C-alpha cells in the first residue's frame, strides 16, 4: 500500500471514530476527534511541499476540514443558527475514502479557510511562544485588533424572599499567564444538559498580570434568582485569549460552580482542559500544579 493510501486510510479511520462517538452521544470525544482530523487536513492543504494531492483534491480536503469544524461548533453550542448535522457530515465519508478518484461536485457550499489554522485540543498548552506571539507580548499593537469591551449585565431587580448572586472574579492561576493576550472570561449558566439558562456574559479584558496569575477583579451579576435555578445547574467560567498567529480567540480552559458550592465568601475552584464540557461528563484537570480560579461570592436576599 502506498504512503498516500495509508494516509487516506488513517484519515478515514479518524473520521469514522469521530462519527461513531457522535452517534453514541459521546460529544466531548467526538469534538476532540473532529478537531484533530480537521487540523491534519488543514496542515496538508497548507503544505507547499506536498505533491501527494492535486490542487482540486486539496480543495476538497480543506472543505472537509471546514465541515468538521462546523460540526464541532454545532456540538458545542446550544444556540447555533447554522446547525451542521451528523447526517450531513456522514455524506463526506465516501469522499475521504475515494479522494484520489472523486470527481463529483462537493455536496455542501463551503469554502476552505486557509488563513485559519485549526488547533487540536490542548495544543495551546505549548509554552514556547511563536515569533508573532512574542512580538505581540513585547508590545506590538498592530499584531491584532483591540477587543471590544465586555458584555457584563447589571444586577436584576430584587424580589421579596428571592436571592441574587454576585460573583467577583478575583484572579486565575496559569503557568503561562504572562503570555496570554487579551485574556477575558465568558460566564454562562447551564442546566445538566448544557442548555443556557441565562444570557451569556463576557468580562472586559484583564490587564494586570503578575507571576503565575491574571487578575480580573470584576463582578458578574448572575441573571436569575437562585431559587429559580433547576437542580443540577452550574455556572461556567471559560478563560479565553487571543492567538495572533492563528487570528482567532481560543478557549484555554474552563471551570464551574455547582449549586451546592454557592455560599457567601471566597472560593477556589479547579481548572479543566478544553473543550468546555457543559454536561460535566468527562473532565480532565488542566494541570497538577496548585493553580486555580479564585472567586468571591455575595448573596443578596430581599426579605
- Lowest-pLDDT choice from 12-16, 28-32, 124-128, 273-277: 124-128
CA distance 3 to 163: 63
pLDDT of residue 118: 43
Q: Which grid cell is 113? A: 479557510
- Lowest-pLDDT choice from 65-74, 222-231, 254-263: 65-74
pLDDT exceeds cutoff 80 at 301: yes
The model's confidence at residue 126, banded by pLDDT at 50, 70 and 90, is very low
pLDDT of residue 90: 94
Cβ distance 260 to 238 under 8 Å?
no
- Lowest-pLDDT choice from 99-113, 136-150, 159-173: 136-150
Nearest-CA neighbor of 143 among 185, 181, 184? 181
CB atoms within 10 A of CB 284: 11
pTM of the full structure: 0.54
Mean pLDDT score, 174-190: 90
Q: Which residue bears the cell 494516509?
A: 7
pLDDT exceeds cutoff 90 at 273: yes
Identify the structural domains of the chain with CATH numbers, from first to last.
Answer: 3-101 (1.20.120.360), 162-302 (2.60.40.150)
The model's confidence at residue 235, banded by pLDDT at 50, 70 and 90, is very high
pLDDT of residue 36: 86
- Lowest-pLDDT choice from 50-59, 74-83, 121-130, 269-278: 121-130
Mean pLDDT score, 277-295: 91
Q: In what order do the strands lie in the sheet with 265-269?
A: 208-210, 213-221, 163-173, 293-301, 265-269
The model's confidence at residue 265, banded by pLDDT at 50, 70 and 90, is very high
The model's confidence at residue 243, banded by pLDDT at 50, 70 and 90, is confident
Q: Which grid cell is 279? A: 454536561
Give the model confidence (pLDDT) of 131-161 as tens digits: 334 333 333 333 334 444 578 889 998 889 9
Mean pLDDT score, 41-59: 81
| pLDDT: which is higher, 93 or 249 | 93
Amino acid at each position: 500500500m502506498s504512503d498516500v493510501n495509508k494516509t487516506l486510510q488513517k484519515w478515514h479511520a479518524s473520521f469514522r471514530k469521530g462519527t461513531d462517538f457522535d452517534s453514541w452521544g459521546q460529544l466531548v470525544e467526538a469534538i476532540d476527534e473532529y478537531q484533530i482530523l480537521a487540523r491534519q487536513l488543514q496542515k496538508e492543504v497548507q503544505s507547499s511541499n506536498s505533491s501527494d494531492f492535486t490542487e482540486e483534491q486539496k480543495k476538497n480536503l480543506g472543505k472537509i476540514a471546514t465541515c468538521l469544524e462546523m460540526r464541532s461548533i454545532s456540538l458545542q453550542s446550544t444556540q447555533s443558527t447554522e446547525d451542521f448535522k451528523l447526517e450531513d457530515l456522514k455524506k463526506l465519508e465516501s469522499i475521504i475514502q475515494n479522494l484520489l478518484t472523486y470527481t463529483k461536485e462537493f455536496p455542501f457550499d463551503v469554502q476552505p479557510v486557509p488563513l485559519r489554522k485549526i488547533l487540536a485540543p490542548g495544543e495551546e498548552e505549548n509554552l514556547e511562544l511563536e515569533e508573532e506571539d512574542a512580538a505581540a507580548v513585547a508590545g506590538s499593537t498592530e499584531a491584532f485588533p483591540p477587543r471590544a469591551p465586555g458584555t457584563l449585565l447589571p444586577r436584576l431587580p430584587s424580589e421579596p424572599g428571592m436571592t441574587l448572586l454576585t460573583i467577583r472574579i478575583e484572579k486565575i492561576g496559569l503557568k503561562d499567564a504572562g503570555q496570554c493576550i487579551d485574556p477575558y472570561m465568558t460566564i454562562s449558566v447551564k442546566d445538566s444538559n448544557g442548555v443556557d439558562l441565562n444570557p451569556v456574559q463576557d468580562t472586559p479584558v484583564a490587564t494586570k498580570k503578575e507571576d503565575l496569575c491574571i487578575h480580573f477583579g470584576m463582578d458578574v451579576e448572575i441573571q436569575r434568582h437562585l431559587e429559580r435555578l433547576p437542580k443540577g445547574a452550574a455556572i461556567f467560567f471559560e478563560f479565553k485569549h487571543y492567538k495572533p498567529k492563528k487570528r482567532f480567540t481560543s478557549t484555554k480552559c474552563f471551570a464551574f460552580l455547582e449549586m451546592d458550592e454557592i455560599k457567601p465568601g471566597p472560593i477556589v475552584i479547579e481548572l479543566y482542559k478544553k473543550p468546555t464540557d457543559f454536561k460535566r461528563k468527562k473532565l480532565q484537570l488542566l494541570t497538577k500544579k496548585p493553580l486555580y480560579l479564585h472567586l468571591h461570592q455575595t448573596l443578596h436576599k430581599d426579605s
